[in-house]
Amino acid sequence: MDFKTFLEHFDTIAQAPNGIAKLRSLILDLAVRGKLVSQNPEDEPAQEIIVRNKTLIIEANSGKKRDVLPLQKTETLIPQGWIRCRLADVALVEMGNSPPGDTYNEDGEGVPLINGPVEFSPGAFGLTVKTKYTTAPSRMCKQNDLLVCVRGATTGRTNIAAFDACIGRGVALVRGWEAQNYLNYLLWHLGEQLLQQGKGTTFPSISYSDLAGLEVLLPPSSEQKRIVEKVDELMALCDRYQQSQEAQDKLRQKLRESAIAALMNAETDEELQKSWSIVRDNWRSLSQKPEDVGDLRRSVLQLAVRGKLTMQRPTSVVTEDDDNSSDSKRKISKRWKHLQLSDITEHIQTGPFGTMLHQRDYVTGGIPVVNPENMKDGIIIPKNDKTLSKTKYQELSNYKLQEGDLVVARRGELGRCAVITKAEEGWLCGTGSMFLRLKEGVSPEFIALLLRSPYGRNHLGEASVGSTMSNLNQKALKSLECILPPLLEQEKIVELVESFFNLCDRLEESLRQTQQRVEALAASAINHLTV
């Protein structure tokens, strides 16, 4: 593969989700397999590197236990002049050794101490920083050594020593006998493999034998230099692509926020339609990922429940807004009423306590129970894994649901709710839920929009209790304030929101399909390059 071929696919891969990361991984993969630059028959074979440094290898491994498996036979073709060897054959590998804790200080006394990722800077080749010192250094690294995390979740992460320092047991050093830069790229490429090789599921770690015994392909010295030059060039190109993408993303986000702000601040029906048209016609250029459409959904919900989705008549009056937004005063129709949820609720019931239900009460093919996981976007998603026996169901008659009831999750995602339809009438409210039976003239679908809106979620979050998990109680729910239009307008708003959300669905699906096409093209390009 030549450089021109690689560049022909570069942009395709870069545009895919996580494309830059995939490119960096691909560059390293091609580099360490001898596919990034061409081989030169006149290069000194890599075997000579080991021969030349035989004395250093013996000295470095003297007295160390190397209970690693012998090199495995493989059918993989090795590029001309390359050899298969262990990491310890081409580099000094030293594990850190933490000095006594009472020798630590932060006053600069003694030598810098590198214990692990706390002293690491971002990036595979970030430079270490000074945070602690020790007066009793036990094992030292030198400036420009490659340091590798060997304990915990960051196992395999690398950094470059910016200064001579004592290394603790959380890190190891790798110092090449000759070409350090090539080894740096090689260990970066093997970082994920090191993490997987780490022993222990809750606290991974790698030993000297794990690290020193890593099997690597070693190219001739001259080819190592050519590889490093090419990798440097391509990584710099990745950097430029990444900077450009980040700048585009920031601009796209600002434009999206501006378009949504115009939508939120529209005062008349004409302004609303104009702002919506701008959003609708330009959302593809304002969004890159399907998740971006979530901003639009939240804005539509906020408009709906704050009286700005339908045209307001000249009889409107100025009212104080409750959500402390920049739109602190707005006009709403005199026909809209400022109420609390308790004013429009006929009945509210918290689901049965957990002590009232036991595993033996659940049967196959019984009466369904509505729990938070059954609620999504205001509707019920049936799940057949939890249904009650008829005997237990009769005991819990107070928790039976009727058509038009609004079921609300008490735990987890605040604002999650669903409206009971004819199909779910007679089901039972679960222990993690509560339900509201609204007064005549109130649309449960409209109140569901209120609960799901940013305004509703913020109120519920502030009013709920619990330190580790939010728990919603009746008092918090009843205190939710709303501005309620007449029933016909409630129904119109629900219809408009459904229409807007249908458009959001199409936008999401279009972005998802585009994303899938780009991913498929990137995968095809990667396969073409790696064969």
Q: Count Cα atoms within 13 angstroms, Cβ side, for 92.
A: 17
Residue bearing tokens 């609708």: 280
> What would you measure as the largest C-alpha separation in the chain, in angstroms?
95
User: CA 391, CA 247: separation in Å to the nearest integer?
Assistant: 63
3-state secondary structure of 299: helix
Task: Give phi and psi for 94, each to the nearest 5.
Answer: -130, 130
Q: Is the pLDDT of residue 448 over 90?
A: yes
Q: What is the dihedral of CA 182, 185, 187, 192, to 10 degrees?
A: -160
Cα distance between the two ends of the chain: 10
Q: What is the pLDDT of residue 76?
A: 64
Instruction: Read off the pLDDT of residues 33-83 as tens digits, 9 standing for 90 and up.
Output: 888 888 899 999 989 888 888 787 777 766 555 444 455 555 567 888 999
User: CA 88, CA 212: separation in Å to the nearest integer?
Assistant: 5
* Other beta carbons less than 10 A from residue 426's beta carbon: 14
Percent of the chain with pLDDT over 70: 87
Instruction: Read off the pLDDT of residues 60-70 as tens digits, 9 standing for 90 and up.
Output: 766 555 444 45
User: CA 9, CA 2: separation in Å to the nearest integer?
Assistant: 12
Q: What is the pLDDT of residue 472?
A: 85
Nearest alpha carbon to residue 181 among 228, 126, 231: 228
Q: What is the dihedral of CA 446, 451, 453, 458, to 10 degrees?
A: 150
Task: Calculate mean pLDDT across residues 122-142.
Answer: 93
Is the pTM higher than 0.85? The answer reads no
User: CA 330, CA 455: separation in Å to the nearest integer?
Assistant: 15
Q: For residues 142 and 191, which has the higher predicted lDDT (pLDDT)?
A: 142
Q: What is the pLDDT of residue 68?
A: 43
CA distances from 53 to 60, 66, 91, 177, 234 (A): 11, 19, 10, 7, 31
Q: What is the dihedral of CA 276, 280, 282, 287, to 10 degrees?
A: 110
User: CA 478, CA 272: separation in Å to the nearest integer?
Assistant: 31
Residue 1 — pLDDT band, cuts 50, 70, 90? low
Residue 327 — pLDDT band, cuts 50, 70, 90? very low
Instruction: Read off the pLDDT of residues 152-184 as tens digits, 9 standing for 90 and up.
Output: 888 889 999 999 999 999 999 999 988 899 999
Residue 308 — pLDDT band, cuts 50, 70, 90? confident
| Angular region, 195: left φ>0, alpha ψ -120 to 50, beta rest | alpha
State both tokens at 275.
């702002």
CB proximity list for 441: less than 8 A, separation 6 or greater: 486, 487
Instruction: Read off the pLDDT of residues 402-443 as tens digits, 9 standing for 90 and up.
Output: 999 999 998 878 889 999 999 999 999 988 899 999 999 999
Q: For residues 483 and 269, which has the higher predicted lDDT (pLDDT)?
A: 483
Task: Calculate mean pLDDT across residues 315-328.
Answer: 40
